[in-house]
Amino acid sequence: MGFVRVGVRFRILLCCLERTGVIALDTAKTDSTRSDAPSGRAPTASPAVLNVLSIDVEDWYQLVGDQLAGGGVPRPEVLERQMDRILDLLARHECRATFFCLGKSLQHCPQIVQRIADSGHEVASHGWGHEVIQRIGLDRFRADLARSLEWLSDLLGRPVRGYRAPAFSVTPEQLEGFFDICFEAGLHYDSSVFPIRGRRYGIDDHPIGPTVVRERGDRRLVELPLATVCWLGRRWAMGGGGYWRLFPRRIIQAAVARINAEGRPVITYFHPYEFDDRRLRAARATGAHTLRSARCGIKQNLGRRSVYKKLDAILTRYRFGAMEDYLKYVENV
């Protein structure tokens, strides 16, 4: 009975969203079988817009262990397994993505960074220590960024041009100094701004579309903010993470169509753990059977296994590429 009630309520919600214009429900074939996509991708609703797919590559067990037990144990074999699924999915769709790599996790398995690059994707930086910028301040952020960029460029033999902050943790007060540091470090783009008013992050007066934030000569730093939908005078996040875990596929699909119809790219973010086909167990990562770790396990597993299928369906219908592909694309439009 509970499920029936939830289903009815959900249908009412869909109707309301459609009536008020926030979504346009797409009744065309939406499954991800290849029968209607001989070239690997069905015709897109907005062929003019290139969307952006990005993944923050970090070791879930290590980071959750840091939070819950003050010191996480890396599990590179799990990260490898999660990356297998992501890379296979992208290969099937012939889709490039940007992988923001975290130094602290990937120092234990640098072969993953190499594999990302060898698979034709873009490698960018997710910093080194995954420390919240709001807490560590801009000086320590500068050092963290430099360490990460140096390690990645030594590993790859070429410079790395993009960055995403841990947990979108730059504050409105830090933003100008943050952009200065990114520009000085030689970055071409940043994707750390979530232009919403969130509980833990967000800069709600920042432009919702890509914006040049620094320029000197022919060098630029572009901010590529995470995707939002405007509705009822508010901005609603829909770029990835918990939003994709919990929102039904039809809502996500309608949001992508709406953002593209406004001429904006959908800039997404995912994590390897969202593609793991096994249950995540926070307690096993920490050895601490606390209420907190149980809550973390429930929250992070809720709707998680649907992300793979949702992304599979979205990639069938819409154009996605890496951050650097988007920057080249806008130069040529």
Contacts of 99 (CB under 8 A, 6+ apart): 54, 55, 57, 116, 121, 122, 123, 124
CA angle 134, 136, 142 (to 5 degrees): 100
Residue closest to Zn ion (Cβ): 56
The helix/strand/coil state of 112 is helix
Count of residues of this chain found to bind Zn ion when the rule CB under 5 A is applied: 3
Which one of 144-152, 160-168, 213-221, 243-251 is the stretch in contact with Zn ion (CB under 5 A)? 160-168
Contacts of 25 (CB under 8 A, 6+ apart): 14, 18, 250, 254
Residue closer to Zn ion, measured from CB, 101 or 254 = 101
Of 198, 223, 221, nearest to 208 (Cα)? 223
Q: How far is the CB of 56 from Zn ion (least distance, A)?
A: 4
Which one of 31-39, 70-78, 80-88, 163-171 is the stretch in contact with Zn ion (CB under 5 A)? 163-171
Which one of 14-22, 158-166, 194-202, 298-306 is the stretch in contact with Zn ion (CB under 5 A)? 158-166
Question: What is the rounded CA–CA span in Å between residue 294 and residue 282?
Answer: 7
Residue closer to Zn ion, measured from CB, 76 or 258 = 76
Q: How far is the CB of 101 from Zn ion (least distance, A)?
A: 10
Tell me if 239 contacts Zn ion by CB under 5 A.
Answer: no
Residue closer to Zn ion, measured from CB, 273 or 318 = 273
Residue closer to Zn ion, measured from CB, 58 or 274 = 58
Q: Which of residues 18-77 bind Zn ion (CB under 5 A)?
A: 56, 58
Of 159, 75, 169, nearest to 123 (Cα)? 159
Q: How far is the CB of 109 from Zn ion (least distance, A)?
A: 16
**What Rg, from alpha-carbon coordinates, does the chain have?**
20
Residue closer to Zn ion, measured from CB, 253 or 268 = 268
* CB-based contact 58:288 (threshold 8 Å): no
* CB-based contact 298:245 (threshold 8 Å): no
Choosing from 65, 162, 166, 239, the residue that interacts with Zn ion (CB under 5 A) is: 166
Residue closer to Zn ion, measured from CB, 29 or 140 = 140
Helices assigned H by DSSP within 165-321 = 175-184, 241-246, 249-261, 282-286, 291-301, 306-317
**Which residue ranges make up the site for Zn ion (CB under 5 A)?**
56, 58, 166
